[in-house]
C-alpha cells in the first residue's frame, strides 16, 4: 500500500475509535442519569419538602477505582431542570420530568 492510503486508513481508524469512545461515554452518562432519577424516585424526593442529600452530590477528585458518572449526570440533570436543588445540598425531582 502507498503511504497516502496508509495515512488515510490510520486517520479513519482514529476517527472511528474516537466516535466509539464518545458513544460509550454517552451511554454510561445516560445510564447514570437514569440511576440518579430512580434513586430520587425510590427515596421519595419529589418536592422541596422531601428533598434528600445524595452521597454523590459532590464530585470526589481523589476517588480510586472505576469512574463514577453519577456526579456529572446529576449536574447535567440540574442543568436540564429535571432535578432541582433545595437548601444547597438536597436534591429532588421536578414534577413532570422527562429524560431526553
pLDDT of 26-67, one tens digit each?
A: 999 999 999 999 999 999 888 888 899 998 877 666 666 677
Residue 82 lies in a domain: yes
Q: Which domain holds residue 35?
A: 26-93
Alpha-carbon Rg for the chain in angstroms: 19
Secondary structure (DSSP) of 7-65: HHHHHHHHHHHHHHHHHHHHHHHHHHHHHHHHHHHHTT--SGGG-EE-TTSS--TT--S
Residue 20 lies in a domain: no
How many domains does the chain contain in total? 1
Residue 60 lies in a domain: yes
| Number of CB atoms found within 10 A of residue 74's CB | 26
Residue 16 lies in a domain: no
Residue 73 lies in a domain: yes
Residue bearing the bigger pLDDT, 58 or 7: 7
Return the exposure string of 39-51: e unless at least 16 CB atoms fall within 10 Å of the residue's CB, then b: bbeebebeeeeeb
Amino acid at each position: 500500500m502507498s503511504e497516502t492510503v496508509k495515512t488515510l486508513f490510520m486517520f479513519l481508524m482514529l476517527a472511528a475509535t474516537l466516535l466509539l469512545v464518545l458513544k460509550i461515554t454517552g451511554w454510561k452518562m445516560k445510564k447514570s442519569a437514569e440511576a440518579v432519577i430512580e434513586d430520587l424516585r425510590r427515596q421519595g424526593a419529589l418536592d422541596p419538602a422531601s428533598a434528600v442529600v445524595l452521597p454523590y452530590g459532590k464530585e470526589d477528585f481523589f476517588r480510586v477505582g472505576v469512574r463514577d458518572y453519577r456526579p456529572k449526570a446529576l449536574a447535567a440533570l440540574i442543568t436540564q431542570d429535571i432535578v432541582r436543588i433545595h437548601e444547597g445540598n438536597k436534591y429532588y425531582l421536578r414534577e413532570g420530568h422527562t429524560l431526553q
